[in-house]
Amino acid sequence: MTTDTFPKAARRTALLGGVEVTIQGMAKGSGMIAPDMATMLSFVATDAALPAALLQAMLSAGVKRTFNCITVDSDTSTSDMVLLFATGAAGNAPPASTAPDAPELAAFRQALDSLLEELALMVIRDGEGATKLMTIDVTGAVSDDSAWRVAMAIGNSPLVKTAIAGEDANWGRVVMAVGKCGEPADRDTLSVSIGGVCIAQNGTVRDGYDETPVVAHMKGQEISIAVDLGLGEGHARAWSCDLTHGYIDINGSYRS
Amino acid sequence: MTTDTFPKAARRTALLGGVEVTIQGMAKGSGMIAPDMATMLSFVATDAALPAALLQAMLSAGVKRTFNCITVDSDTSTSDMVLLFATGAAGNAPPASTAPDAPELAAFRQALDSLLEELALMVIRDGEGATKLMTIDVTGAVSDDSAWRVAMAIGNSPLVKTAIAGEDANWGRVVMAVGKCGEPADRDTLSVSIGGVCIAQNGTVRDGYDETPVVAHMKGQEISIAVDLGLGEGHARAWSCDLTHGYIDINGSYRS
């Protein structure tokens, strides 16, 4: 049984060794989604001629910032996977360097990352019962890993996800999620913005905060939450969706 | 605003230094419940005459196995607390030992632990939208802490919680939760029982498994899940509730 509601595929091209190469990918999955590459499946294929180890390194780096930054319900499947196949049919010259960050690979890497993000976001948009996409940016963390854990805690919080479903800019629940995740954070340096509007700064509601534009933002389908921890340079972006009656229907009533 | 639907109070008596002492407690809370002693409030009072440090040690030990083993929604409040007051009015003789595990304190300790468990379970039974209490026993873990993390991962899984709401003995979702939590576990030594009936043993469905009694169990309000990891002596018990449309109503529609 699948609960996917639309096919998920994406395509990119990039110049590599003077030749245009193509990357195509597809994914399936909408619940039990909090990939930790390990029932989310994604297959990516390219005609680029590149060594397997280099492809794996670029794929791992790309997945870290895309598929491993999405969550529908915090539940991780036992069979999550992203596979990248390369046929070499494009006939590009082999890269002089096999360092994943080599400049000559920049266009390919960028195309791959962009394709992975598009596929990962398709999975979230089709999250079981989801009606809204939540993009969570965390900055000012002590490290990128710490920022990622904070972003995922916000994305996984049932109270944040139900507030989004209820179209309420409940920044207090965002602060709660920051607080519970165990990462370094300080109420007095914390800022929270929703829909690009700074609501709370240094731990308190900003003087003159006007809820009107934020209320309008919450009625949309693309919700943006930004948290600045004010501690360091670490940053991360994660994506989640709202938690609605649809999720309960799909996962609680599937036998009736 | 509170979403509690009933008052939560409990009482125990115990013999201490030849005198009957009383312990009374109350709690509030039904959502944002995954206490990590820090909106869940609990106050316990006793007339026992016992030193503060000893009371704190016994309370901390009791809370570890009760309030810190419950979860409604995995969201931790910033103000969870359990406070224990002792008036000394019972006039018991001061204990000769101030070791929390001293035999002369056994009756008091047992009464306190039992009261804490009763209060903690009241919180879960009144979990936002909850219709069923889930008791999760994990045995065979490499340590008690590891068992606790596995039990809480099962209790926090939206897919397990919606399966309980849907009255489905979905042992596969239980295995998923074990697998995602990052604790030592081995599919080939894993056993899962629901309602006291062993469903899966050593990683596969038990020969002759008859779903009938388990289906009946799932229709009740007290659901028991037991997982044996088959690795060591570590064990823990945690309590959670099902995830229903009621939770979404309370937390997604509170402004309308």
Q: Taking 60 as the threshold, does the pLDDT of residue B108 lie above it? A: yes
For A126, B105, B227, the CA distances from B206, given in Å and listed in that order, are 36, 44, 14
- Interface mutation vs chain B, best among A164, A242, A251, A253, most B CBs within 10 Å: A251
In this prediction, residue B52 has a pLDDT band, given cuts at 50, 70 and 90, of confident
Q: Taking 90 as the threshold, does the pLDDT of residue B7 lie above it? A: no
Q: Give just the sign of the alpha carbon dihedral A248, A75, A71, B152.
A: positive
Contacts of B40 in chain A (CB under 8 A): none
| Average pLDDT over all residues of chain B | 85
Give the C-alpha separation, A120 to A26, whole Å.
Answer: 10
Give the C-alpha separation, A99 to A174, whole Å.
Answer: 39
Chain A residues contacting B, CB < 8 Å?
Answer: 31-32, 34, 36, 38, 73-78, 156-159, 162-163, 165-168, 173, 175-177, 179-180, 242-245, 247-248, 251-256
Q: What is the pLDDT of residues B54-78, one digit of tens each?
A: 888 888 887 777 777 778 777 777 6
The three-class DSSP label of residue A37 is coil
The pLDDT value given to residue B32:
66
A156-181 burial code (b ≥16 CB/10 A, e <16): bbbbbbbbbbbbbbbbbbbbbbbbbb
The pLDDT value given to residue B53:
85
The pLDDT value given to residue B112:
87
> Angle, to 10 degrees, between the axis of helix B158-165 and the axis of helix A245-252?
70
Could you list the mean pLDDT of each consecutive 10-residue stretch along chain A, which spans 256 residues? 70 78 73 62 80 82 77 75 82 85 87 85 86 95 94 93 93 92 93 95 89 94 96 94 90 73
Q: Which residues contact B150 (CB under 8 A, 6 or more apart)?
A: B138, B141, B177, B178, B181, B183, B185, B227, B229, B236
Contact status, residue B176 vs residue A78, Cβ threshold 8 Å: yes
The pLDDT value given to residue A34:
66
Give the pair of three-digit tokens for residue B253: 């529609």
Mean pLDDT for B96-122 is 86
**Cβ <8 Å between A165 and B31:** no
Residue from the list A73, A77, A158 with its beta carbon closest to the beta carbon of B73: A158
Residue from the list A36, A75, A245 with its beta carbon closest to the beta carbon of B159: A75
Mean pLDDT for B45-56 is 83
Mean pLDDT for B137-161 is 94
Phi then psi for B93, rounded to 5 degrees?
-65, 140
ipTM, two decimals, is 0.77
Domain architecture of chain A: domains with CATH: 8-125 (3.60.70.12), 133-252 (3.10.20.340)
In this prediction, residue B224 has a pLDDT band, given cuts at 50, 70 and 90, of very high
Nearest to B134 by CA among B95, B170, B160: B160
Nearest to A136 by CA among A118, A162, A161, A115: A161
Chain B residues contacting A, CB < 8 Å?
Answer: 31-32, 34, 36, 38, 73-78, 156-159, 162-163, 165-168, 173, 175-177, 179-180, 242-245, 247-248, 251-256
Search chain B and give the residue with CA nearest A246. Answer: B245
Give the distance from residue A196's alpha carbon to the nearest chain B alpha carbon, in angstroms: 22
The pLDDT value given to residue A37:
55
The pLDDT value given to residue B78:
67
The three-class DSSP label of residue B80 is coil
Q: What is the pTM of this model?
A: 0.83
Nearest to B251 by CA among B243, B158, A124, A223: B243
The pLDDT value given to residue B1:
54
Nearest to B247 by CA among B135, B165, B139, B144: B165
What element of type H or E holds A116?
helix A106-125
Task: Annotate B116-132 with DSSP letters as a single string.
Answer: HHHHHHHHHHT-TT---
Give the pair of three-digit tokens for residue A68: 């491993």
Q: Which residues contact B244 (CB under 8 A, 6 or more apart)?
A: A248, A252, B129, B130, B131, B165
Q: Taking 70 as the threshold, does the pLDDT of residue B35 lie above it? A: no
